[in-house]
Amino acid sequence: MSLEYDDKGKIFTDVVSKVAVAALVQTTMHLIRGNIHIRPDERLKDELNRDEPYLAMTNASIVDADGKQVYASDFLAVRREQVVWVMPDSETRRAA
């Protein structure tokens, strides 16, 4: 990791600060529950629009159609081309 300082003492680093956002990600084959990490001043949509082939998720759980967990991992890279929809998990509500 490199650190640089400007003449006012501001620190610049290669490390990018991010905030974890709990999310549901529906791919063409699976539903994934986990965290997507976004920059503090950006929206979840901004992270989804990045020009990178994979979307990084942490604390990820893949669930089947019955809601049963079939796989869990501390880290999961999801191919963006396979993503159908994404929803913040804190807003998950059941239909009445």
How far apart are alpha carbons 70 and 30 in whole angstroms? 10
How far apart are alpha carbons 23 and 56 in whole angstroms? 12
Candidate CATH numbers 2.40.50.140, 2.30.30.100, 2.40.50.100, 3.30.450.20; the one for domain 12-91: 2.30.30.100
pLDDT along the chain (96 residues), means of 10: 68 74 94 93 91 95 90 96 92 49
> What's the predicted TM-score (pTM) here?
0.75
Closest CA to 53 of 32, 82, 80: 80
Q: Are the beta carbons of 83 and 27 closer than 8 angstroms?
A: yes
Q: Domain limits of the chain? A: 12-91
How far apart are alpha carbons 42 and 5 in whole angstroms? 25
